[in-house]
Structure formats: structure tokens, C-alpha cells
Amino acid sequence: MEILPADFYARETCSVARDLIGMVLVHDHPAAGRISGYIVETEAYHHDDPACHAWHLFDRETGTVRLEGRGAGLFEAPGTAYVYLNYGMYWLLNVVTEREGVGAAVLIRGVEPREGLDFMRAQRPKARRPRDLTNGPGKLGMAFGLDDRHHGRPMTAPPLYIARPETVPSYAVDTSSRIGISRGVDLQWRYFVPGNPYVSPGTPSDRVKRTRR
DNA sequence: ACGAGGATGCTCT
DNA sequence: GAGCATCCTCGTG
């Protein structure tokens, strides 16, 4: 497998989010060995986007940026991991995109397990069905053993990286609005493999729309 | 299947 | 204090 280089991420964020579908998220865990899975769901967070953590760091009067607080990691070099604690409990994994200093990223929301299933099951004791291991950003963070130790580290080299598999799955890709946000709700910046069980269930209303279509 | 509500802690939008 | 890029459990039907 070829590890995706920084150039892959140094592009328009929606293109990166789309192209990450079918790539393989890998964690070469120091104790548990290789944990990996095919990416089946992503979301783009642009610098000019009220749902992005970089939004409030921009001073729109002067056009300057305050590199302070949680969102500062979004301004690192493309390919850097942006990991943060959500709802006080869940580590969510993003990869920084565009050029250094822009402030954009892609959130990894769903992964189809490939290697390290035993470790995933141990990390996710509440999972009743296979899909419950990794069908959501918080769930896959637990299954892969991710936390703030990974924040700010390059995903262009082990232990945590994304690679192009020898055979890229022939996934179809649909788009929709993003899940769990209150601003920027109309932007169609979510990418997912329709019908794949490892896509996050989202809100119940979203699920109704999708299954009745 | 669906909806409501709690857990839980960091950030300040 | 409010608001979160979530997950889980427990009602009801």
C-alpha cells in the first residue's frame, strides 16, 4: 500500500473528502499491531464555513487569523491529524487540507473494518452488531484507539496514516448535508457509500429520508 | 423503528 | 452558562 503524501491533502477540501472514500485508514498500534479499515464516510470543513472550528478564529474586519484555542491545529500543514474531544467523551479524527495556514480539514465519519477486528471488539464492548464497531466518528475513534496523542502529528507516516490499497473498492459515492451541526446545514459536504453498513446512522430523520428514497 | 434524555468535559463560535 | 462535528439506554408502538 502507498501512504498518501501531503500533496494528496493540499487540494480543495471537498475533492479530498470525496477522494478519501475507498482509501484505508491505518493505525500501526504499538501494542496491538495493525488496525485498519476502508473509509466509507467523510465530511468537508472549509475555512470559510460556520461549522468549521476555524470559523471563529478569523477576524473578518482585518482579514487576519488568531492562532489560538482548539481550532489552531487546523492551520497546520496538509496531512496533519486534527483530533479533538467531542461531548467530553469522544475523540474525532480529521485530516488537515488545503495549504498550511488556510484552516480546513476532512472529518472521518465511517470506516469498514479490514484488519485488527479483535482489538476493535475489545475497544467497543457495547457493539452488538459488526457495524456498531466503526459506523460513526466517535465509534471509530474508540475502535482505532485514537486520542489526543495523535493530534498534530503527520498522517503521511506511521503510526497513524491513510494509504491507497492495492485494489481500491469500487464504491459508489453520494453526497448530503452534514450530520450533527447547527450552522452550514444546507451545504452538501458529506460524502458516503450508499448502502454500506459502516456509514453512520446519523439522526433518525436523516435515516428516514435515506431509506424511503 | 423511533424519539427523548442522560452522560461528560472542554471551549467560548 | 450555553453549546457542542456523539453514543447509549430506555421508553413506546
Q: Is the CB of A139 under 7 A from strand C?
A: yes
Task: Give the nucleotide with minimal C1' distance to the Cα of A68.
Answer: B11
Residue A54 is predicted with a pLDDT of 97
Residue A63 has a pLDDT of 86
Residue A203 is predicted with a pLDDT of 56
Q: How far is the CA of A132 from the C1' of C2 (A)?
A: 31
CA/C1' separation A107–B9 (Å): 21
Round to a whole number and report the distance in Å from the CA of A4 to the C1' of C12: 48
Nearest by Cα to A160 from A140, A186, A177, A175 = A140
The SS3 of residue A122 is: helix
Nucleotide nearest to A135 (CA to C1'): C7
Task: Identify, with chain letter, the residue nearest to nucleotide C8 (CA–C1').
Answer: A126
Q: Which residues on adjacent β-strands are paired with residue A38?
A: A24, A112
Tell me the torsion sign for CA atoms A186, A187, A192, A194.
Answer: positive
- Confidence (pLDDT) at A61: 84
User: Which positions of chain C lie under 7 Å from any protein Cβ?
Assistant: 3-9
Q: Which residue is nearest to nucleotide C3 (CA to C1')?
A: A87
| Neighbouring residues of A54: CB distance < 8 A, sequence distance ≥ 6 | A45, A47, A65, A71, A74, A75, A103, A104
Contact A81, A27 (CB under 8 A): no
- pLDDT for A213 equals 31
Give yes or no for CB of A181 within 7 Å of strand C: yes
pLDDT at residue A112, rounded to an integer: 98
What pLDDT score was predicted for residue A202? 73
pLDDT in tens, chain A (213 residues): 999 999 999 999 999 999 999 999 999 999 999 999 999 999 999 999 999 999 999 988 888 999 999 999 999 999 999 999 999 999 999 999 999 999 999 999 999 999 999 999 999 999 999 999 999 999 999 999 999 999 999 999 999 999 999 999 999 999 999 999 999 999 999 999 999 999 999 754 444 343 333
A212: which nucleotide lies closest, measuring CA to C1'? B1
* Distance, C-alpha A34 to centroid of its chain: 19
- Please check whether residue A42 is in contact with residue A62, taking contact to mean a CB–CB distance below 8 angstroms: no
> What is the model's pLDDT at position A60?
85
What are the residues facing A43 on neighbouring strands? A107, A190
